[in-house]
Amino acid sequence: MKTLHWRFLTFDEKPVAAASIAQVHHGTLKNNQEVAIKVQYPDVEQRMKIDFTAMAFLSKSVSLFFPEFTFDQLLSEFKRSISAELDFIQEGKNSERTALNFKKNKFIRIPHVYWDLTTRQVLTMEFCRGQKVNDLEFMKVSGVNPTKVAQALMEAFAEMIFVHGFVHGDPHPGNILVSPERNNGFSLVILDHGIYRELDEGFRLDYCQLWKSLILLNSQDIRNIGERFGVGKYSKYLPVIFTGRTLESKSPLGTQMSKEEKKHLKQELQSLRMEDISSFMESLPPELFSILRTDGILSSISTKLGASRRMRLLSYAKYAVYGLAVRAGSEPGNYDPSSFKPDMSYIRLRAYIELLAFALKIEDVGRSLANKVSIMHITIHRVYVALFRSLRVIWQLVAIY
């Protein structure tokens, strides 16, 4: 790093951030441009190889005594992730690709990469100011609406998954900053582009179709996609994993299952053996495994920001519908929902999703009124139930045409 010092007007020796494989320093270029310099620790690659060897040994040892437990999938993902994280040249390329994908999105910012100051162990990029995406106090002081932040965050990652097929693999709060803009606006700065999962085009389309089927509870399509994913008989649990309801559920999207449904599911899950669970985990496609991890992190963040489960599900459903209309090999960054030529099935599903989204907005208004006017005893649940009944009627009418 000393050989690069002369390229900077200033270089702060004290890091502004540090992680397991690298630390980040603030600096200024000769043209006064602020930059962040990510420097890899010495010998970190060798240490990671030793750690992986130890993990592989422990995994095989456990499997000898407990054959029902297998960790091959986890080890494979860990090795892939570590290899990707250690190559800062690849991280820079991932960053530029994502910036191109989101060039029309006013909420998303990706730091510019300075290639003349970047090597495999050193990454120099634009320095972006902001606070962690889960810093509610900062948003309150800055006048930024946390729910809108959650919406923008969920839609950005839904677009990555369903439309681009190129997914950031480590969206923890430290890698996503909220940067206030004018008039209480904001942008989301996405950092650390080392770990990405590129989705096979066939998988991407299947995953879009899965979400379409999950929203409509089309059991046959879910089973068919489950077969293609390799999960076989366990495909009936996909709705539970992604939407929190079973195939037989009568509960509206995004709401809790009834007591009877929970009881039945609990009894069914108790009948599963550990080897069944291990077999299910091992049968998951690597792409699905990565998405589940990313979705788990995003779900935790969005919940803290005050977003409901239904809001997250509707965001995913909407972009799954968009994703079905995207052609393979489309030029990056040219994604524009308004340019799609929808067929009748697309129109029906989109209408259904928009009506559910409208119900969500009504619920938010109802919640706001209930908080401000204690006299109002009309619960949000009643409003939602009434709307959902109307949705069923409208859906039946749409289906007729």
Quick: pLDDT tens for 319-337: 998 898 876 555 655 655 5
128 secondary structure, DSSP code: -
Structure confidence at residue 69 (pLDDT): 61
Q: Are residues 384 and 355 in the same domain?
A: yes
Residue 126 falls within a domain, yes or no? no
Print the domain residue range for 352: 342-401
What are the pLDDT digits (tens) for 51-90?
Answer: 767 777 676 776 666 665 666 666 777 677 777 788 999 9
How many Å apart are CA 166 and CA 188, to the nearest integer?
18
The stretch 22-45 carries a mean pLDDT of 93
Q: Is residue 35 part of a domain?
A: no
In a domain, 90, yes or no: no
The pLDDT score that the predictor gives to residue 325 is 83
Q: What residues form DSSP beta bridges with 113?
A: 125
* pLDDT at residue 92 in the model: 97
Question: Where among 316, 335, 354 does a domain terminate?
Answer: 335
Euclidean distance between CA atoms 295 and 248, whole angstroms:
24
Mean pLDDT over 305-312 rounds to: 88
Residue 295, judged by CB atoms within 10 A of its CB (0-12, 13-18, 19+), counts as buried
Choice between 292 and 114, residue whose per-residue pLDDT is larger: 114
Could you give the CA distance from residue 296 to residue 171 in angstroms, rounded to a whole number? 10
The confidence band for 170, taking pLDDT boundaries of 50, 70 and 90, is: very high
Buried b (16+ CB within 10 A) or exposed e, 206-226: bbbbbbbbbbbbbeeebbbbb
Residue 50, domain member (yes or no): yes
Q: State residue 339's pLDDT score.
A: 55
354: in domain: yes
Q: What is the mean pLDDT of residues 136-148?
A: 95
109 touches 139 (CB < 8 A): no
Question: Which of 199-203, 273-277, 383-387 is predicted with the least confidence, judged by mean pLDDT?
Answer: 383-387
pLDDT surpasses 60 at 278: yes
* 345 pLDDT tier (thresholds 50, 70, 90): low
241 and 146 in one domain? yes
Looking at residue 302, what is its pLDDT?
Answer: 95
Average confidence score pLDDT of the chain: 81
Residue 310 — very low, low, confident or very high, per pLDDT cuts 50/70/90? confident
33 falls within a domain: no
The model's pLDDT over 226-262, given as tens digits with 9 standing for 90+, comes to 999 888 888 888 888 888 888 777 766 667 777 888 8
pLDDT attached to residue 312? 87
> In this structure, are 60 and 141 located in the same domain?
no
211 and 278 housed in the same domain: yes
Q: What is the mean pLDDT of residues 140-154?
A: 95
Calculate mean pLDDT across residues 111-124: 96
| Integer Cα distance of 243 and 235 in angstroms | 13
Residue 269 banded pLDDT, cuts 50, 70, 90: confident
Percent of the chain scoring above 90 in pLDDT: 44
Report the pLDDT averaged over residues 177-194: 92
Query: Among the three residues 289, 313, 335, which one is the final residue of a domain in this structure?
Result: 335
Domain assignment present for 8: no
Q: How many CA atoms lie within 13 A of 25 on its CB side?
A: 19
Q: Do residues 105 and 156 touch, judged by C-beta distance below 8 A?
A: yes
Residues 202 and 323 in one domain: yes
266 & 361 share domain: no
User: Quick one: 71 and 192 in the same domain?
Assistant: no
Same domain, 151 and 60: no
51 included as an active-site residue: no
Tell me what pLDDT residue 286 has.
85
Give the domain-ending residue among 335, 352, 384: 335
CB distance 212 to 110 below 8 Å? no
Domain count, the chain: 3
Residues 242 and 285 in one domain: yes
Q: Write out pLDDT tens, residues 347-382.
A: 666 666 666 666 656 655 555 555 544 444 444 455
Q: Per-residue confidence at 397, pLDDT binned at 50, 70, 90? A: very low
| 321 and 351 share one domain | no
Q: Of these residues, 12, 72, 87, 170, which one is catalytic? A: 170
Same domain for 330 and 357, yes or no, is no
Q: What is the pLDDT of residue 134?
A: 96
* 289 and 172 part of one domain: yes
pTM for the full predicted model: 0.79
Reply yes or no on whether the pLDDT at 179 is more than 90: yes
Kindly state the average pLDDT of the residues 97-121: 96
Residue 295 lies in a domain: yes
The per-residue pLDDT for 377 is 44
Any idea which residue has 């100051």 for tokens?
117
pLDDT at 164: 96
